[in-house]
Structure 1
Amino acid sequence: MKILFNMCHPADVHFFKNAIWGLEKQGHDCKITTVDKDVSLNLLYAYGFECDVIGSAKPSLFSKATELLKIEYNLYRIAKSFKPDILVGGVGNAYSAHVGKMIRKPSIIFDDTEHAKIEHLLTDRFATTICTPSCFKKNIGKNQIRYNGYQELAYLHPNYFTPNPAVLDELGLNEDDVFIILRFVSWTASHDVGQHGITNKIEFVKELEKYGKVLITSEDELDDVLEKYRITTSPEKLHDLLYYASLCVGDGATTATECAILGTPSIYVSSLVGTMGNFIELEDKYGVILHYSDSDKALDKAVELIQKPNLKEDWKNKRDQLLKDKIDVTAFMVRLLGDYPNSFQV
């Protein structure tokens, strides 16, 4: 089977990589197209993937709209040449859904973001199958498959991820050191319009560095005061660093979920309260994420947590229970994609 993966975000690279390797081992022919966004290309090259760049991420809604036409034209041209049996995309990947309709081939979209209204409007009615976590709050219809897991489990499940402490050496750290990671996003996605995350970044740094080393990972430019805290390690090593971190605080939803699955205490700061099923479940059922819309309250909680002596051990225990309850998401993806459409009925 020929499978065309279109990746629009760095998280897609992590999400699909193990499935692609698994499908290729079974003899399937996988091709990757990508939108150049943040560190997407760096990740693809770091993992040894070949890809065709079909466009780039744009900041404004108008530029996104014009870029959409360019991306879809390039994806259509490649799809006509490659002749895929199915097209696959991640969250809000309208391009794969649209081009699938154009070439009369099925499209499978993996989504976990209920509040992305524009993306759902552009995608859901065109996609052949949409896969969501079982905790997904939105009922899409008869073409929806719910699986008992989270997208981040596709690459952070122990079957696929083993932390490498070498990343600590690069930063002059060891496993016993207390260090806090702050994650800042750019808030330029269409579903982020009108929303906000951490508003007092400098205060966060100054207060938290009283208890340990502070490291920042940011999609956006930083003030001169904060730039010296920016992580310089290569992006494919970020999950190793998250695993060993004492605490992670930020307004990046994916990073917050990754930390939760890795057993690292995670505080998510966002005005988007109660909109995503995965966050509700991770907070209310497993207690591995704490969600605040108020930056000051989030900082108070961060200071409280970082002073707890058995914090990491407590979080590892919660994470172990989560892993017992959830499936191997990559194995599910390989079964679904490798035997589609028969697998849809199963």
Structure 2
Amino acid sequence: MIVWLDILTPKQVYFFGELGQRLEARGHSVFRTTRHYREVDELLSRRSINATSVGRHGGASLEGKLAASAERIGQLSKVINKLKPDISVAFASPEAARVSFGLAIPHYTVNDSPHSTAVARLTIPLAAKLFSPAVISKRVWRRFGASPEMIVQYNALDPIGWLRTFIPNPSVLSELNLDVSEPMVVFRVEEAFASYLLGHVSEQKSVTIPIINQVINNHENPPQIVVLPRYAEQIQVLRAVFPRQVTIPQNVIDGPSLLFFTSVFVGAGGTMTAEAALLGTPTISCFPRDPTIVEKYLIKKKLVYRENKPEKVAKKIQQILANLDDVRKSQREKARNIKSTMEDPIEVLVKEIEGTF
């Protein structure tokens, strides 16, 4: 069987990287496509995953997104028409969904983000099956055109797919010149170019910058601070605001390993917040809109603390660092117990894919 995987984000590099390996180990042929996007390009290279780059990221504007998507559909259609895969799998990729529908290829979409309404509306109606964590009710997906019969739920959050066999690599610390014996606070900036955050944030208007300033001002000897940007524009802004006080990696690093060794993680997105929480790292979410369904689940399980006000986030960080050993021990035990109840989402996909033919 030929399986086409479309990989668009860092999360998908991990998730579909694992899925592709499993499918190939079972004798299937896997063809991977991606688009030009800084973090994905670097992460694919770092993980030695070969993917054909088709098209580009559309940037922050609606017009840019539309133009890039339209161009990519045309480019992909030529590539995929020659390949003639038996099935396509993507994480809410409008281009993969449209090309698959146009070429009569069964399309499976994976989605844990109903708050991203634009891509859900563009992909779910064209999919044969929708895969989603069971914490998201089937009812949520009905408004996007999903029938109950097409929805396959798994009792897990998506990061479990790559964290089940994860072994932290301490080399990330030397790569960033960090001292594991000293407190370390890691920030992940928001997805400034996402359609669901348009008008709320931008590369110039970040929710994390005031929090970082507050943390620096609250400590006579501030902890080690690492800020993980998504786009080149964010790197420029962050380095202008923090020329010396924080570490801002120029290139993509081993995110899961860094999160494992982190004292406190502050996330303005979704995937790394879930990763950190499931690794048992003390985690604070400052996501700039209402909590997502996945975030609400993690808050309910007491794996994530939710706060947006800079002074309150800084105070919470201080409280955690003052009792770090006890807090970390408690969080890792909670995470371990919750992970033990979750199934492997990758295996669910493999069985469904193989069951199609």
Confirm or deny a common fold (TM above 0.5): yes
For each residue in 1:97-120, what CA deviation from the matched residue of structure 2 results, as whole angstroms up to 9, or x when unmatched? 111111111111110111111111
Q: CA deviation at 1:236?
A: 4.6
Distance between the aligned counterparts of 1:61 and 1:230, measured in 2? 32
Q: 2:323 aligns with which of 296, 302, 308?
A: 308
- Which amino acid in 2 is paired with 1:55? G
Describe how 1:249-268 pairs up with structure 2 within 5 A: 249-268=266-285
Question: Hey, what does 1:198 align to over in structure 2?
Answer: 208
Instruction: Extract unaligned runs of 5+ from structure 1.
Output: none
Within 2, Cα distance between the matches of 1:223 and 1:172? 17
Aligned-pair Cα RMSD in Å? 1.9
Distance 1:12 1:217 in 2: 17
Residue pair 2:114, 2:141 contacting (<8 A) in 1 also:
no
* 1:212 Cα offset (Å): 2.0
Contact 2:131 2:153 in 1 (8 A): yes
- Structure 2 counterpart of 1:331, which letter? E
Listed as ranges, the matches of 1:22-171 within 5 Å are 22-57=22-57, 58-90=59-91, 92-137=92-137, 138-140=140-142, 141-142=147-148, 143-157=150-164, 159=165, 161-171=166-176
8 Å CA contact 2:19–2:350 kept in 1: the answer is yes
Counting only pairs closer than 5 Å after superposition, residues 243-254 of structure 1 correspond to structure 2 as 243-254=260-271
| Cα distance in 1, alignment partners of residues 271 and 214 from structure 2 | 20
Tell me, yes or no, if structure 1 residue 295 matches structure 2 residue 296.
no
Q: TM-score, normalised to structure 1's length?
A: 0.91
Contact 1:32–1:51 under 8 Å retained in 2: yes
Q: 1:233 offset after TM fit, Å? A: 7.6
Q: Distance in 2 between matches of 1:60 and 1:10?
A: 21
2:187–2:228 CA contact under 8 A, matched in 1: yes
| Separation in structure 1 between the aligned mates of residue 342 and residue 284 of structure 2, nearest angstrom | 22
Q: Secondary structure at the residue paired with 1:55?
A: strand
CA distance in 1, matches of 2:34, 2:51: 7
From the superposition, tell whether residues 211 and 258 of structure 1 become closer, same or farther in structure 2 (CA, over 3 Å): same
> How many Å separate the matches in 2 of 1:21 and 1:195?
38
- Hey, what's the Cα distance between the residues in 2 that align with 1:33 and 1:208? 46
Residue 139 of structure 1 aligns to a residue in which SS?
helix
Aligned to 1:325: 341
Structure 1 residues 199 and 176, CA, compared in 2 at 3 Å: closer, same or farther? closer
1:15 is matched with: 15
Show CA shifts across 1:289-314 (max 9, x none).
11224333322222222222412111
- 8 A contact 2:280–2:332 mirrored in 1: yes
Q: Deviations over 1:224-259 (max 9, x none)?
A: 242442343853522111100000113122111110
Q: Which moved more, 1:8-17 or 1:177-186?
A: 177-186
1:109, 1:127 within 8 Å by CA — same for their partners in 2? Answer: yes
TM-score, length-scaled by structure 2: 0.88
Verify the 8 A CA contact 1:149 1:328 in the aligned structure 2: yes
Picking from 236, 240, 243, the partner of 1:224 is 240
The CA distance in 2 between the partners of 1:225 and 1:200, in whole Å, is: 10
Q: Residue 341 of structure 1 corresponds to which residue in structure 2?
A: 356
Change (3 A) 1:12 1:307: same
CA-CA distance at 1:166 after TM superposition: 2.1
Of the structure 1 ranges 230-239 and 242-251, higher mean CA displacement relative to structure 2 is found in 230-239
1:185 aligned to 181, 185, 190, which one? 190
**Mean CA deviation greater in 42-51 or 144-153:** 42-51
Distance in 2 (CA, whole Å) between partners of 1:295 and 1:129 is 41
Is 1:3 aligned to residue 3 of structure 2?
yes
Unaligned runs of 5+ in 2: 202-206
| Shift in alpha-carbon separation, 1:289–1:230, aligned structure 2, 3 A | same
Query: In the TM superposition, what is the alpha-carbon distance from 1:172 to its structure 2 partner?
Result: 3.7
Structure 1 counterpart of 2:34, one-letter code:
T
Report what 1:277 is aligned to: 293
| SS of the residue 2:126 aligns to | coil
Q: What is the rounded CA distance, in whole Å, between the counterparts of 1:150 and 1:282 in structure 2?
A: 10
**Alpha-carbon spacing, 1:217–1:66, altered in 2? closer, same or farther (3 Å):** same
What amino acid is aligned across from residue 96 of structure 1 in structure 2? A
Determine which of 238, 241, 246 is the counterpart of 2:258. 241
Moved over 6 A (4+): none
SS at match of 1:4: strand
SS for the counterpart of 1:325 is coil
